[in-house]
Amino acid sequence: MTDFISELQWRGRLAQCTDETGLRKHLATGTRRCYIGFDPTADSLTVGNLVQIITLALVQRSGHVPVVVVGGGTGLIGDPSGKTAERTLRTRDEVNANVESQKRIYDRILDFSAGAKYRAILLNNADWLCELSYLDALRDIGKHFSVNMMIQKDSVRERLHNRDQGISYTEFSYMILQAYDFLHLYEKHGVTIQSGGSDQWGNIVAGTDLVRKKHAADGESSSAESFGLTTQLITKSDGGKFGKTESGAIWLTANRPGESAANRTSPYAFYQFWLNTADADIPKFLRTFTLLSHADIESLEATHAAIPGQRDAHRALARHMTTLLHGETETQHAESAAKALFSGEIASLPADLLTEVLASAPSTSHDKATLSAGIPLVDLLVTTQLAQSKREAKEFLQGGSVTLNGRKVGPDDKATTADLLHGSVIALRRGKKAWHVTRWA
């Protein structure tokens, strides 16, 4: 077991805390419950959400109970934090579908098994928010909030000063709903700690204040212990936005069989995302996202500092994160694909993985019938612009710098139907990096 607050500090994650001394004492004197809320705006979550899920995993490993609160209720409203414009409201069916789809992510990282000593809990705030009447909300919750305080919140203040966008009463009320979540969880489920990203600090403080004020009004202030803390938002060393690539966000799930509407992140692409981490970000990412031990992380940091070109830390990070979210088998496939691309020996890759591995390579389409007689590679190199002329093509082939599906070829070789991978693809490579995919139909 580790001390939760000390663990966050060692990992460089602790940003703010309503009462650090009091929280340390609170954690040291019993098994506590800590919750984090997740917004079901999509059927998956992105790597940015991983910080909070890992935080809950650290709660569990520190001998306390992690509580996942999915926003089936608040998701119908939308959190204005970090948004410059009003969100598009989703239907109940959309929100419910997203909530159900996201559950598989929490199952990967947290222990919900019946035999777990600190078994994780998953709750949906629709179960209590949808039962809350408007009058009860105004009387029992709203009276504890000052509008003067609410308009000072960053996300509200910025929108109030933007005449083109403004903020609706709906989103303005989000803080009250999140605060009520904490009050309900405190009273009905014994949850005494709320955590989240540092952009949630205002909402979290509002929750702890509501618990205190409500119980003070009931004459129970001495027994009302509630705490809030936040974790640092992730930034990259180059100033770029974490979790964004040229192809879009990095998601924590891949498309399942039969899913076609959402363009999610495959295990291979997920592995590559972590493998391509900038050298300067490796120590931070190892501490922030992995559940590796202190000793393992410090060892990887030391090796990375001494021999960064060896990339041991990059591979360990990619392997650990892919296994955590997709399992050992998918990690092995991703590693095999990465090695195949580097070596050029791609012939053994499954069709879907082959397509993905070569997705960024230039490609051309050809008539499959022309392969029956064989096409001289001297001609095919020129056609694919891997060589500018037949003379240059012969030089490349004679020099042994050209491979076909990972097999070295010479100036007298031809491409034939026997070379087709999965009946439709022949991949050519000149040198180590110049790939071209020919597709035959």
Q: Are 202 and 156 in contact (CB under 8 A)?
A: no
pLDDT, residue 116, reads 93
pLDDT, residue 423, reads 94
pLDDT, residue 401, reads 95
Distances (CA, A) of 187 to 81, 182, 215, 370, 432: 26, 9, 10, 75, 63
Domain 4-231 shares a fold with domain 363-440? no
Which 8-state DSSP code applies to residue 1?
-
The pLDDT tens digits for 22-64 are 999 999 999 999 999 999 989 999 999 999 999 999 999 999 9
| CATH T-level fold of 4-231 | Rossmann fold (3.40.50)
CATH class of 244-343: mainly alpha
332: pLDDT confidence band, cut at 50, 70 and 90?
A: very high
* pLDDT above 60: residue 84: no
* pLDDT above 80: residue 169: no
Distance CA 265, CA 336 (A): 18
Residue 121: how many CB atoms within 10 A of its CB? 17
Summary mean pLDDT of the chain: 90
Q: Which residue has the tokens 């019993």?
A: 30
**Strands in 303-431 per DSSP E:** 363-366, 375-376, 402-404, 407-408, 414-415, 425-430
| Most confident among 84-88, 168-172, 186-190 (mean pLDDT) | 186-190
239: pLDDT confidence band, cut at 50, 70 and 90?
A: confident
> How large a percentage of the chain has pLDDT more than 90?
69
Domain regions of the chain by residue span: 4-231, 244-343, 363-440
Domain 363-440 classified CATH 3.10.290.10? Answer: yes
Mean pLDDT, to the nearest integer, of 234-250?
77
Instruction: Average the pLDDT over each of 17-21, 38-42, 226-230, 320-324 and give the range with the smallest value.
Output: 38-42
Bridge partners (DSSP) of residue 437 are: 363, 427
Q: Which residue has the tokens 């029992």?
A: 140
Instruction: Average the pLDDT over each of 58-72, 127-141, 206-220, 245-259 and give the range with the smallest value.
Output: 245-259
180: pLDDT confidence band, cut at 50, 70 and 90?
A: very high
The pLDDT tens digits for 389-408 are 999 999 999 999 999 999 99
* pLDDT above 60: residue 120: yes
Distance CA 19, CA 333 (A): 46
Bridge partners (DSSP) of residue 434 are: 430
pLDDT, residue 195, reads 98
* pLDDT above 70: residue 163: no
Cβ contacts of 401 within 8 Å, gap of 6 or more: 430, 431
Q: Record the pTM.
A: 0.86
